[in-house]
Amino acid sequence: MKQKNLYVLDETDSKIVHLFTELGMPRNLAKTLMFVSQVEECCSADVEHGTDLRQPEVCLAVNEFVRRGWIKKREVKKKGKGRPQHIYRFTSSLRDIVTSFEKEKMLEIGTLEKNLSEIRTIIRSR
């Protein structure tokens, strides 16, 4: 029998997930991000068990992170028949990801301020 270490999100991870979601990151992305940041590499089933997410939620989150270049995905052929297993690994540090996320949010704030200012200008001119 093989022994496998199972990682789960702890209280601090859950707090970070909550903060990310308060900032507008979908919950499944935040949970997946925190889980993958804690391990050297993992597969989808590891993330599912460690985060209590379903496979489609993990898949969507991982695909978004791959698109952003934060996670690298590789395939490992299983013995016998069946689909290959995907293994995920961070390509960026969690600090770099937070910095990138912060820049996105600051751009959003700038857009909101610009739009609100434009609305005020239009209302004043009526």
pTM check: above 0.85: no
pLDDT digits (tens, 9 = 90+) for 15-68: 999 999 999 999 999 999 999 998 999 999 999 999 999 999 999 999 999 999
The tokens describing 10, both together, are 């702890």
pLDDT band at 8 (very low <50, low <70, confident <90, very high): confident
Please tell me the distance from the alpha carbon of residue 54 to that of residue 70, in angstroms, as a whole number: 21
pLDDT digits (tens, 9 = 90+) for 72-120: 999 888 777 778 888 999 998 999 999 999 999 999 999 999 999 999 9
The tokens describing 3, both together, are 């022994």
Q: Rounded to a whole number, what is the distance in angstroms from the first to the last CA of the chain?
A: 76
